[in-house]
Amino acid sequence: MTKDEKYIQRCLDLASKGLGSVAPNPLVGSVIVHNDRIIGEGYHKAFGGPHAEVNAIASVKETSLLPQSTLYVNLEPCSHFGKTPPCSDLIIRKGIKRVVIGSVDPFDIVTGKGIARLRNHGCEVSVGILKSQCQAINKRFFTFHEKKRPFVILKWAQTADGFIDTLRPPGSDLRPAWITSENLRILVHKWRSEEPAIMVGTHTALADNPRLNVREWAGKQPLRIVVDRQLKLPRKLHLLDNRLETLVLNERLDKKEQQTTFLKMPFEKDLVSLSHVMHYLYERGIQSVLVEGGQRLIQSFVAQGLWDEARVFSGPQFFGEGVKAPVIKPSNLSHVIIGNEGFFWFKNYLNY
């Protein structure tokens, strides 16, 4: 690893600390180096707060060293006024002469403009250091701005023989059989805190009565999205309790009741139009959505290629019969064993 790569990697380590707190802004870390010694570092901690470069510069005690230092940052410094002033202007004003950037910002307002501004004021700028890693950490941000849709994460748990549930008729009092251990359920709650929206289909809402909230982890509560074409879900369900912002996709009603919004959507072959859902979420500025079930909804995302990652737990149980797990073609697959359970992480190579 080169010296520049080492410090960009440090930027990435810092940037990851903002996950779940900075959206819709990107994850950004910054390091300031003088004679191969870090004299300042910072990261973007919360949406609306100071950016990484601002925090890094503010942390420098020996400010007289800034003109002889290099500023590292994993994403192009902004050049426009948003909730905070342009970072590129601050870098110029502090006299920093060399800036190393991991990746160009895909946001139209920024793209290339921050780099051009720095160069026009005499800064030596290097771009593309650990580029793929820098884009990967902001996969949600890049997908949102480049593909004009949220980053889609599919999640389910399946048995060793490939089932996600036993056979339970709609309205049955039978509760879902747990496939994963408590530790993995805590991990799922951590994931929920990292995404701005979470989605399930009608059958899952009716059969499991999920809360779709963050309970086993600290963090923001996601927007809950449920598909209910004919508005047949009972109001006693947790998803309709008005405790959290909830979106009910249906084909009959546009109405807001407290924290629950009923939104009319077109349906195609008895399934909600995912392209319309993606467009709506994009217009709302929602950069990612975690799809937790059920089988038909997840399989429809897969069939239309509208997915970016799939996170699949595999438990040791055998159901023998039941609801078959979604089918996904192996692509960019990672696999780890956690106790006697497996965790598979798929990436859709067509979208990466």
Question: Which residues are part of the catalytic machinery?
Answer: 53
Gap between the Cα atoms of 121 and 140, Å rounded = 32
Which candidate, 250, 267, 273, 247, places its Cα nearest to that of 259?
247
Distances (CA, A) of 1 to 71, 130, 215: 18, 10, 40
Handedness of CA 131, 133, 138, 139 (dihedral sign): positive
SS3 label, residue 245: coil
Gap between the Cα atoms of 108 and 105, Å rounded = 8
Gap between the Cα atoms of 311 and 324, Å rounded = 16
Q: Residue 325 contacts by C-beta under 8 Å, 6 or more apart in sequence?
A: 156, 158, 162, 163, 164, 295, 312
The three-state DSSP-derived secondary structure of 209-231 is: CCCCCCCCCCCCCCEEEEECCCC
Amino acid making up residue 252: R
Neighbouring CB atoms inside 10 A of 98's CB total 16
Structure tokens at 37: 């010694």
SS3 label, residue 327: coil
Which candidate, 345, 342, 341, 313, places its Cα nearest to that of 331?
345
Helical H segments across the chain, by residue range:
3-15, 52-58, 87-93, 113-120, 131-137, 139-147, 182-194, 202-208, 274-283, 295-303
